[in-house]
Structure 1
Amino acid sequence: MEWPKRARTADWGNGVLTLDGDKQFDIPELTIEIMERLAGYTLVGFHVKDYPVTDEMLIPFTAHKNMVNFGVEDGALTDTCFPVFSAMPKLRYLLLDGNAGINGNGLSTLQECKIDLLTLNRTGLNDAGLMQAASIPKLSHIQIDHTAVTYEGLLAIAGNNRIEPVTHVQFTKEQMENFSQLQREKAKKPTPLDEQAAEDCRKVLSAFFEEMTEWEQYMEQAGFEDTEAVPRLLAIWEKYVSEKPRAGYRPLGLSYSAQGTYKGEQFLDAEQITKNKLYIYTREKNTGFDRRFLMKRVNESWMIDAVQERLDGWQRTGL
């Protein structure tokens, strides 16, 4: 075969190597020579599925400078593979599902990495390995279904409020909600919660959610050109929001969700920040999407001063 001079992505599956999504080559087996050739490209993405890739076969990729997304699924990797990834400066997504030889004891080598997502479903990951994963500073999501991780091992990493373990069958929904609650408890500052203030804030948010849902339903029928669109929204803001309007977000930038931005919001928890500020935590019941609203006492009333969404940690967004 004639190798192309350049390639940015490489995917191998079922005996076919695909470069850049459209250049396909019949390669029944992956050899060290082929891996060396691929490692010579300025790849940003590499993925192999259902092939017994070994730790030794990955050595040519050590300290690859451009790699962002790397995956070997259902291979023959062990924890010896992790030093290969430790010096990849741009690596963000590491997909290692189905490598039964990985138990996590080598994850400590990734301490300096900037990995956001690590998938270890169907591996031998155990409690000690999960603890090592939780110490990777930038890691925000780790998938751990069909592993040896116990619920006690999961609870042991609750002190890391940045990480979000993703599991659909390993633990029950109730267990995961309890874990999230424990994370929030451990992250709280030791300021006693004013229960009456929290209840007042929930009432304000409930009213805001209801009026925003009504406004979005109105917008679905009337459209952006309707002369009442902006006045109706500004009236809601004046009643409930103390946050200074920001460019690109409501009410300066008009947008709406046909499903209702806050239609399925459920209250989870409250956290006192100061006497006049607290967080109210919510979760969207259908998607599991987490938000927290910063509530501020203005004169004698509580108003919404900011909202954050849990993506890569808590990040400020718009109402």
Structure 2
Amino acid sequence: MITQQIPHATTVSALRTRVRSWRDDRLTVGFVPTMGALHEGHISLVRLAKAQCDRVVASIFVNPKQFAAGEDLDAYPRTLIDDAEKLTDARCDLIYLPTSEAMYPDGYSAGVTLTGPALGLEAAVRPHFFDGVATVVTKLFNQVRPDMAFFGEKDYQQLLVIRQLVKDLDFPINVLAGETGRAKDGLALSSRNAYLDADQRARASQLNVILKAFAAALGSGAGRAEATATAQASARAAFDGVDYVEARCAATLAELDDGPIDRPARVLAAVRLGSTRLIDNMAANPPA
């Protein structure tokens, strides 16, 4: 357990009591949902929330509904004491720690399903994933009732899914994005990076190199189909497996024509090193 000096709530009623007291004082509330195993990318979202809001809630909940059978639910890193210290150092005002039993009690049967940006890419490989994300985020939004919610651009498709969810379900929440946190060699920060051994960690940095070259090719006028084929070949040579390497419309994740891009795009990739899955993305703009 975390120490009593760290403000935290484990039940919806305790959470709402604290948030209600802030509302009574006319304070704005920001929310940073996480699955724990926090790194600098998560903490940068807390700092962003602190800059935008009077009070900040961060949740830690490893959501079983976004893991399929055979995925790493049981192995997912859980570092609660370290996480709590990092959140306290970042001046987070409340840590919300719901249990699986409280979130999904016996008899629970509701779920949220989206199309639009939730189709393809991650969903083609993990078809259960965005239903699980949309369901837990809907519950968390209803529990916290924030004014603003903060998500990282590293999970770019998830970011667009959450924005669509907020729009479609009329949540009075402003969703803000934080830039992808990166190590010195460009690897996107991720809790799953802890799974990599030394050799895999050295190889992992190639994903950043490949995506940079992909985005640069599109920005210089190369056709999407040609640039994609080159990036996919590079990824297959560098990694043990490639789930996707694609360029999509940045606003909607719709597929693009084969020729040079004519609108802001996003290059996105998911690759595998051993049993570890890495995802990353970056902006690609059309030629000036």
Same fold (TM over 0.5): no
Which has the larger share of helix?
Answer: 2
Q: State which structure, 1 or 2, has the greater radius of gyration over its C-alpha atoms.
A: 1
User: If the length of structure 1 is used for normalisation, what is the TM-score?
Assistant: 0.27
Which of the pair has the greater relative contact order for Cα pairs under 8 Å at 6+ separation? Answer: 2
User: If the length of structure 2 is used for normalisation, what is the TM-score?
Assistant: 0.29
